[in-house]
Amino acid sequence: MRLVEPWELRAAFARSLSDMYGTEVPAYTTLLDVAHEVNRDVLAARGADAERLGSIDRVTAERHGAIRLGTPREMAQVASIFGAMGMHPVGFYDLREAATSAVPVVSTAFRPIAADELARNPFRVFTSVLTPADRRFFSPDLARRLDAFLADREVFAPELLELAARAEADGGLVRADADRFLALATAAFELSREPVDRAWYDELERVSAVAADIGGVRSTHVNHLTPRVLDIDDLYARMQDRGITMIDDIQGPPRWEGPDVLLRQTSFRALAEPRAFRGPDGAVTTDTLRVRFGEVEARGIALTRAGRAIYDAAIAEVRTATAGLGAAQGQHVAREIWRRDFPATEHELAERRLGYFTYRAVAGRVVADPIVYEDFLPMSAAGIFQSNLTADGSKDVTQEGVALDADWMAGVVGRTLHDPFDLYAAQSEASAAQVCADLDLDPATLSPIGARR
Q: Which residues bind ligand OOG (CB under 6 A)?
A: 66, 68, 126, 128, 223, 265, 295, 376, 380-381, 384-385
Q: How far is the CB of 209 from ligand OOG (least distance, A)?
A: 11
Residue 93's contacts (CB-CB under 8 Å, 6 or more residues apart) are 106, 107, 108, 109, 126, 376, 378, 381
Residues 213-252 that bind Ni ion (CB under 5 A): 226
Residues 153-172 that bind Ni ion (CB under 5 A): none
267 contacts which partner out of ligand OOG, Ni ion, none, CB within 5 to 8 A by kind? none
Q: Which residue, 372, 373, 371, 360, is CA-closest to 450?
A: 360
DSSP 172: S
376 contacts which partner out of ligand OOG, Ni ion, none, CB within 5 to 8 A by kind? ligand OOG
**Is residue 62 near Ni ion by the rule CB under 5 A?**
no
Q: Which residue, 209, 303, 298, is CA-closest to 251?
A: 298
Q: How far is the CB of 69 from ligand OOG (least distance, A)?
A: 10
Q: How far is the CB of 294 from ligand OOG (least distance, A)?
A: 11
**What single-letter amino acid sits at 430?**
A
Nearer to ligand OOG, 215 or 343 (CB): 215
3-state helix vs strand vs coil in the chain, percent to 5: 50, 20, 35
Nearer to ligand OOG, 91 or 343 (CB): 91
Residue 448's contacts (CB-CB under 8 Å, 6 or more residues apart) are 347, 350, 351, 357, 359, 366, 368
Nearer to Ni ion, 168 or 295 (CB): 295
**Is residue 375 near Ni ion by the rule CB under 5 A?**
no
Helices first, then strands: H and E counts in the chain: 18, 12
Nearer to Ni ion, 264 or 418 (CB): 264
Nearer to Ni ion, 359 or 385 (CB): 385
3-state secondary structure of 288: strand
Nearer to ligand OOG, 358 or 380 (CB): 380
Q: How far is the CB of 227 from ligand OOG (least distance, A)?
A: 12
Cβ burial of 22 (10 Å; 0-12, 13-18, 19+) is middle
Q: Where are the extended beta strands (E) located within 279-317?
A: 284-289, 294-299
Total length of the chain: 453
Segment interacting with Ni ion, rule: CB under 5 A, options 21-29, 62-70, 166-174, 396-404: 62-70
**Is residue 295 near Ni ion by the rule CB under 5 A?**
yes
Nearer to Ni ion, 127 or 131 (CB): 127
Q: How far is the CB of 297 from Ni ion (least distance, A)?
A: 7
Contact 187, 81 (CB under 8 A): no
266 contacts which partner out of Ni ion, ligand OOG, none, CB within 5 to 8 A by kind? none
Residue 249's contacts (CB-CB under 8 Å, 6 or more residues apart) are 266, 327, 330, 383, 387
68 contacts which partner out of ligand OOG, Ni ion, none, CB within 5 to 8 A by kind? ligand OOG
What residue number has its CB nearest to ligand OOG? 381
181 contacts which partner out of Ni ion, ligand OOG, none, CB within 5 to 8 A by kind? none
Cα 385 from Cα 219, distance rounded (Å)? 19
Nearer to ligand OOG, 289 or 435 (CB): 289
Which parts of this chain interact with Ni ion (CB under 5 A)?
66, 226, 295
